[in-house]
């Protein structure tokens, strides 16, 4: 037990995931960090390897392709990945955010269609929250969703969409249509 573990004892699963993330950061990320920083390009190679190592969807149950770990494990992995290159940790954070929203709020059909491929790195997610007049204040969103019978119509504007240029799908945060508050379940 290290000195830090005296304050927060880690489980074997937490320790194993931390070590896996540390080794990944040292062996896969750090050697490419300078190039990633200079080119500012998305590395599909690293993204695929993150999935192969079980570093995407850390807190998502194994049934859906996640690591079935706790939030402490997630925090430990993020810390280690950040040592390699913080943008890679940020990418994992985005996947964790989108995966959690899909797991918590999505239907089984949506989980099969979006969550499972996301955690296999077969698809790339995006998250659209920020608006020109509201910033990232969720309570001040003006983008609205209205049930159109066979789907939803979104009205509004988003900016700074994380992974927007390269995504296969986006999770868009919107308010219920002001004229029809029951429009979104």
Q: pTM of the entire structure?
A: 0.87
Tell whether the model's pLDDT for residue 183 goes beyond 70: no
**Three-state secondary structure string covering 1-53:** CCHHHHHCCCCHHHHHHHHHHHHHHHHHHHHHHHHHHHHCCCCHHHHHHHHHC
Nearest-angstrom CA–CA distance, 70 and 60: 9
Residue 35: phi, psi to the nearest 5?
-65, -45
pLDDT digits 0-9 by tens, 4-50: 556 778 999 999 999 999 999 999 999 999 999 999 999 999 999 99
The architecture that CATH gives domain 10-94 is Orthogonal Bundle (1.10)
Domain ranges of the chain: 10-94
């Amino acid at each position: 037990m290290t000195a830090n573990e005296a304050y927060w004892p880690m489980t074997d699963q937490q320790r194993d995931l931390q070590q896996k993330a540390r080794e990944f950061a040292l062996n896969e990320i750090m050697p490419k960090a300078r190039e990633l920083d200079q080119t500012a390009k998305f590395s599909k190679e690293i993204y695929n390897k993150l999935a192969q190592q079980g570093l995407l969807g850390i807190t998502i149950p194994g049934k859906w392709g996640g690591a079935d770990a706790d939030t402490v494990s997630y925090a430990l992995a993020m810390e280690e990945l950040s040592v390699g290159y913080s943008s890679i940790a940020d990418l994992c954070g985005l996947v964790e955010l989108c995966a959690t929203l899909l797991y918590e709020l999505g239907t089984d059909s949506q989980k099969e269609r979006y969550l499972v491929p996301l955690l296999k790195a077969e698809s790339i997610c995006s998250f659209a929250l920020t608006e020109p007049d509201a910033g990232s204040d969720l309570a001040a969103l003006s983008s609205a969703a209205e049930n159109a019978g066979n789907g939803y119509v979104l009205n509004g504007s988003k900016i700074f969409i994380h992974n927007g240029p390269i995504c296969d799908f986006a999770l868009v945060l919107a308010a219920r249509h002001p004229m029809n508050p029951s429009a979104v379940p």
